[in-house]
Structure 1
Amino acid sequence: MKEVKCECGHINPIGTVLCESCGNPIAAKEKNSSKLLDMRYDGSARRSQTYNKTIVDKVWNFFSSVKVGVWLIVITLLASSLGTIFPQERFIPPGASASTYYEEQYGSFGKLYYTLGFHDLYNSWWFLALVASIGISLVICSLDRVIPLYRALKNQGVIKKEGFMRRQRLFSETDKTLDQHTYEGIIRAMKQKRYRVREENGHILAEKGRFSRWGPYVNHIGLIIFLIGAMLRFVPGMYVDETLWVREGETAPIPGTDGQYFLKNNAFSIDRYETGNEKEVFENAIEKAGDGQVVKSYKTDAILYKREGEVVFGEKPKLKQVTEHDIKVNEPLKFDNFSLYQVDFKQNELDQMVFQLIRKDTEKSFGTVKINLLEPKSEYDLGSGYKVKVMSYLPDFYFDDDGTPSTKTRNPNNPAFVFEMISPEKPKGEKSFVAIQETVEGSDNNLYKMKFDRVETKNVTGLTVRKDLTLGVLIVGGIIFMIGVVQGMYWQHRRIWLSAKDGKVLVAGHTNKNWFGLKSDLGVLLNGSGIKQPVDQKELPDTTSISKSKGEGLDGGSQ
């Protein structure tokens, strides 16, 4: 029951519509029809249209549907568009917490956006599942069609049933006995047109451009490889795209290197164009800028280090210098598949704040406290019984909707402190809230206060850390996809059948596209042979008129 034997002797898989060899209709609905043949996949058996019993069959049939594939693509595109409504988590300000940022910036809708996981959409499991489903659909759609099509084209015979030829879109019948000279002239003309000619007992099959039929499936292979490359970006170690901020004099671990590489920012500098010292084209740009601040280049004088030995938690790493490099725009520092690009900077960012412990009635200072705004200590001992404790530190201070002091980010953009001042007179301590240009005493009876003295600033360089081992896969997928586009767009699969017997000549033609080109070929091939040019039966008032006029059955026998 898994095979069907045609009367020509060829054995076809179950579900075959037209015999792979002779073209004789096998399906009952095709035997009793007089319409033009549906030549998609040459009537071969597709698994999705044959089996539908087991769970494997049902899954296969679901993903083999083109409609399902289109809907998966539409849903994925709609989901992708949702990810562009607000910035993704990786693009929010450095140090900001996603759990509070979206609600603070965009209100209730932002909170809902975060709760539903759209803030990190492209890393979510369900988005990856959608991409994977598109890949599965492409694979199953391709296999469901390309295997039977390959089998049908490989097994096609030269001798076709008369009913098969009559039901082709291009067909003609001529009452004529074809002499050997004309027969050989037609074959010669076909070969000059670069047709691959096969002949058998007065029958001819001329074919060219078969490779164009594989264009869509080459497209699918390219897309599948491209999707694999895109999904590989979520495999740890395959793709890194992070931002690294390093202050002058600071050594920081490089994201994505698992703590193996560190970068030290020796100095960050900006070179600007100067009036009178530049070429005319830059002079014009300087004048248009108004303030004369036209940047020529950004540069980070950096040193790359590599950790020696294993990573030990809590232990300061032992570093070995690898190289020293000036990182400029479009001149990255490259190492071990990583590239560090100069993309941003911050000048004069707060680095340290200096306070003095002052007695309020005498304005006498009892010591200086210098606080590192990135790593503040919890306690500063000034000696002689005087101490200052940092009870609370708000790097980016503001009052929230409830009037409670809070911080927007972890960056020291607007630092504020709650100090506890301990002195011999007040061993239990006095509290004071201090921010830039603002001091709030914990009590009017405080003997001491923290007086702001000065700030120290540093330049900060912003670097992009990039590693992409998937790029080669994406390029290969793109190239294969474009090959498939060209293959399927600029060539066509053309076939011509000619049958000369019993005092008549039948000619039929089929192509997957560009029917005008096939008609033009037939016009050249049959010119001067005395054989009628095939007509386009699709353009006739009744597409079965030629078959009916001769009173022929669908299998070519007399009625």
Structure 2
Amino acid sequence: MEKIKCECGHVNPEGTVLCEACGKPVEGNQHIDGNDKRKLLNMRYDGSARRSQTYNKSIIDKTWNFFSSVKVGVWLIVLALTASAIGTIFPQEQYIPADATQDPSIYYEAQYGILGQIYYQLGFHNLYGSWWYMLLIAFIGMSLVISSIDRFVPLYKTLKMQKPRRHDTFLKRQRLFSETEHVSSDEKKKLVSGLKKQRYKVWEDNGHVLAEKGRFSRWGPYVNHLGLIIVLIAALMRMTSFMYMDEYVWVREGEQTVIPGTDKEYYIENKDFILETYDKDDERFKNAIEKQGNVAKNYQTNAVIYKEQGDDVAGADPDLKKVTEDSIRMNEPLEFDGYTLYQSGYQQNEFKRMSFKIHKTDDPEEASLGSFSIDLTDPKETYQLDNGFQVGVTQYYPDYELQEEEPASKTPYPRNPAFVFTIHPPGNEEPETSFVGIGKNIDATGENDYKLGIEDFETRYASGLSVKRDYTLPLFIIGAVIFMIGVSQGMYWQHRRIWLHPKGEGILVAGHTNKNWFGLRQDIERMIADTNVNMVQDQQETE
């Protein structure tokens, strides 16, 4: 690695624009920032040697240079934002209605047509979990890390080792500069005293003075980057099931079921579901009630949470220990062991049990020849009656609908149950087939001697609960707080530097700041008050 030796004797790393010791532009460097004597010095990184502008030989150099580019970082962010915007056109797969039974490939085409099909085939239905989106986020993180290191490390070293004694060229090519031919020693002391009164940190070297304040504001962008990197890490961790989980479960009154996403470790029991509606005489909701019926005021699940104890033994009932018992209401979730249960929906009048009776087809009184009851959550294949009849459940459609003239079940939940029964009369009579549902009783042959009819039914509520766990939220908050600290750090403070350089009986005054030049000029005015030192001129305005 080639070193560059300045006339002051300091050896600078390859790629240095301004000597780290005296600030004199390095002759013959590969940049034009310091060698064009007609221009002011580019002080953005104090002329320090940046790796991305120095090496471009190996694949590592080329990769480093690619990700250190601000333009590349901006384009990566634009691509991520564009992809995220497209991902909001249609709902993500995880937000498909919980009662939708269609495969996502069918659902998007059925709901949104050809655009939905294209949306699914391009992978936008699961955008935030797709490999290419995660790779894009990782590239943004790499860009932030590499661009920050590429600029922060050399700038930190340069600012840490800056000296009061600077080359004349360095001072004369600052934006704020003045030269005074005759200045007394008392006036020079008064200048230093004026800087200290304004809370500048002052270094002196044989009459040469460097006054500085607000250096920490230079690190604001890098603090921003740190906050964004933490947010990106949290976003990537959100893709892991341990750090983030979002599931949905239906729990019926009196039912106990596994809480999804907990590896069968936790169970929930729905002891009771309560639905409260607004009074139809309530003037606030009178119009809404007239249009759509009852309006929910509150719906809640009185639930018990259990945790399985010991090892899971196949075929044996789990050994459960009660964790907590509470109500889950709208906007009042239940929290336990890092999980949160939200009341997200409910289903009214879901059938629990149905009773059927057998009677003669031609009997106008429909006198019962026997009856049986079916548990709709777990129907048996056959039902044996005491009078010798046997009824077989050939087909069961929990939520019956016709799809292309074929019977099907819209959902796996008993909301509109329908059956294909086979009746085996006592003796050697031929079995008969009937189709029975709500408002439906069809004899396929028209020659059946026996008929099945609904005798009674029992309904219940089904409670829809969202199950969530999010360990990444603290990281998002920490990252956001750090980001805002960086914004404040770089927005409300400025890095100001003033150099005093004795020259014969006179003095050179130069000043630089990363922003708010008017404020720096005011500081210099206060410093030179009651002295014969000339006020600095803005050389950018006089060019």
Tell me the TM-score normalized by structure 1.
0.88
* Corresponding residue number in structure 1 for 2:3: 3
Q: Which shows bigger deviation, 206-215 or 500-509?
A: 500-509
Q: Which runs of 5+ in 1 are unaligned?
A: 277-282, 544-559
Once the two structures are TM-superposed, the CA of residue 490 in structure 1 deviates from its matched residue by 0.3
| Counterpart pick for 1:47 among 47, 51, 64 | 51
**CA distance in 2: counterparts of 1:467 and 1:445, whole angstroms:** 59
Query: Match for 1:157: what amino acid?
Result: K
Once the two structures are TM-superposed, the CA of residue 373 in structure 1 deviates from its matched residue by 3.2
* Corresponding residue number in structure 1 for 2:237: 232
* Corresponding residue number in structure 1 for 2:480: 478
The verdict on how the C-alpha distance between 1:44 and 1:369 changes in structure 2, with shifts beyond 3 A counting, is farther
Name the SS of the counterpart of 2:385 in structure 1: strand
Identity of aligned residues (%): 52
Query: Match for 1:256: what amino acid?
Result: G
Once the two structures are TM-superposed, the CA of residue 501 in structure 1 deviates from its matched residue by 1.2
Query: Match for 2:22: what amino acid?
Result: C
Count how many residue pairs are aligned between Structure 1 and Structure 2: 533
**CA distance in 2: counterparts of 1:335 and 1:221, whole angstroms:** 32
Would you say the 8 A contact 2:349–2:415 is kept in 1? no
The verdict on how the C-alpha distance between 1:84 and 1:441 changes in structure 2, with shifts beyond 3 A counting, is farther
* Corresponding residue number in structure 2 for 1:382: 385
Name the SS of the counterpart of 1:539 in structure 2: coil
Once the two structures are TM-superposed, the CA of residue 422 in structure 1 deviates from its matched residue by 3.2
Name the SS of the counterpart of 2:436 in structure 1: strand
**CA distance in 1: counterparts of 2:78 and 2:91, whole angstroms:** 22
Once the two structures are TM-superposed, the CA of residue 502 in structure 1 deviates from its matched residue by 2.4
* Corresponding residue number in structure 1 for 2:24: 24
Would you say the 8 A contact 2:200–2:212 is kept in 1? yes
* Corresponding residue number in structure 2 for 1:321: 322
Q: Residues 379-426 of structure 1: CA distance to partner in whole angstroms, max 9, x if unpaired?
A: 3333565333333333333333x4333333323333333333333577
Would you say the 8 A contact 1:303–1:325 is kept in 2? yes
* Corresponding residue number in structure 2 for 1:336: 337
Query: Quick check: 1:128 aligned with 2:131?
Result: no
1:513-532 to 2 correspondences below 5 Å: 513-532=515-534
* Corresponding residue number in structure 1 for 2:87: 83
The verdict on how the C-alpha distance between 1:359 and 1:524 changes in structure 2, with shifts beyond 3 A counting, is same
Q: Which shows bigger deviation, 521-530 or 105-114?
A: 105-114
**CA distance in 2: counterparts of 1:90 and 1:191, whole angstroms:** 62
* Corresponding residue number in structure 1 for 2:310: 309
Q: Residues 189-227 of structure 1: CA distance to partner in whole angstroms, max 9, x if unpaired?
A: 001111111111221111110000001101111111122
**CA distance in 2: counterparts of 1:427 and 1:102, whole angstroms:** 50
Query: Match for 1:184: what amino acid?
Result: K
* Corresponding residue number in structure 2 for 1:551: none
Tell me the TM-score normalized by structure 2.
0.91
What's the Cα RMSD here? Answer: 2.5
Once the two structures are TM-superposed, the CA of residue 31 in structure 1 deviates from its matched residue by 2.8
| Counterpart pick for 2:174 among 168, 173, 178 | 168
Name the SS of the counterpart of 1:41 in structure 2: coil
Once the two structures are TM-superposed, the CA of residue 15 in structure 1 deviates from its matched residue by 0.9
Q: Which runs of 5+ in 2 are unaligned?
A: none
Q: Which shows bigger deviation, 146-155 or 241-250?
A: 241-250
**CA distance in 2: counterparts of 1:385 and 1:2, whole angstroms:** 103
**CA distance in 2: counterparts of 1:357 and 1:113, whole angstroms:** 52
Would you say the 8 A contact 2:244–2:471 is kept in 1? yes
The verdict on how the C-alpha distance between 1:203 and 1:293 changes in structure 2, with shifts beyond 3 A counting, is same
* Corresponding residue number in structure 2 for 1:346: 347
**CA distance in 2: counterparts of 1:32 and 1:320, whole angstroms:** 79
Query: Match for 2:195: what amino acid?
Result: M
Would you say the 8 A contact 1:261–1:305 is kept in 2? yes
**CA distance in 1: counterparts of 2:81 and 2:442, whole angstroms:** 53
Query: Quick check: 1:138 aligned with 2:144?
Result: yes
* Corresponding residue number in structure 2 for 1:553: none
**CA distance in 1: counterparts of 2:424 and 2:13, whole angstroms:** 93
**CA distance in 2: counterparts of 1:89 and 1:42, whole angstroms:** 51
* Corresponding residue number in structure 1 for 2:38: 34
Q: Which shows bigger deviation, 502-511 or 357-366?
A: 357-366
**CA distance in 2: counterparts of 1:303 and 1:58, whole angstroms:** 59
Would you say the 8 A contact 1:207–1:495 is kept in 2? yes
Query: Quick check: 1:410 aligned with 2:408?
Result: no
Once the two structures are TM-superposed, the CA of residue 253 in structure 1 deviates from its matched residue by 1.0
Query: Match for 1:516: what amino acid?
Result: F
Query: Match for 2:321: what amino acid?
Result: K
**CA distance in 2: counterparts of 1:352 and 1:261, whole angstroms:** 27
Would you say the 8 A contact 2:184–2:505 is kept in 1? no
1:406-485 to 2 correspondences below 5 Å: 406-424=408-426, 429-485=431-487
Name the SS of the counterpart of 1:235 in structure 2: coil
The verdict on how the C-alpha distance between 1:392 and 1:49 changes in structure 2, with shifts beyond 3 A counting, is farther
Q: Which shows bigger deviation, 181-190 or 68-77?
A: 68-77
The verdict on how the C-alpha distance between 1:490 and 1:302 changes in structure 2, with shifts beyond 3 A counting, is same
Once the two structures are TM-superposed, the CA of residue 427 in structure 1 deviates from its matched residue by 6.9
Would you say the 8 A contact 1:16–1:27 is kept in 2? no
Query: Match for 1:372: what amino acid?
Result: D
The verdict on how the C-alpha distance between 1:490 and 1:307 changes in structure 2, with shifts beyond 3 A counting, is same
**CA distance in 1: counterparts of 2:11 and 2:254, whole angstroms:** 80
Once the two structures are TM-superposed, the CA of residue 338 in structure 1 deviates from its matched residue by 1.6
Q: Which shows bigger deviation, 58-67 or 366-375?
A: 366-375
* Corresponding residue number in structure 2 for 1:552: none
Would you say the 8 A contact 1:366–1:382 is kept in 2? no
Query: Quick check: 1:203 aligned with 2:208?
Result: yes
* Corresponding residue number in structure 2 for 1:191: 196
* Corresponding residue number in structure 2 for 1:547: none
The verdict on how the C-alpha distance between 1:211 and 1:62 changes in structure 2, with shifts beyond 3 A counting, is same
**CA distance in 1: counterparts of 2:240 and 2:451, whole angstroms:** 54
**CA distance in 2: counterparts of 1:489 and 1:379, whole angstroms:** 77
Name the SS of the counterpart of 1:43 in structure 2: coil
Once the two structures are TM-superposed, the CA of residue 366 in structure 1 deviates from its matched residue by 4.2
Would you say the 8 A contact 1:499–1:506 is kept in 2? yes
**CA distance in 2: counterparts of 1:105 and 1:440, whole angstroms:** 32
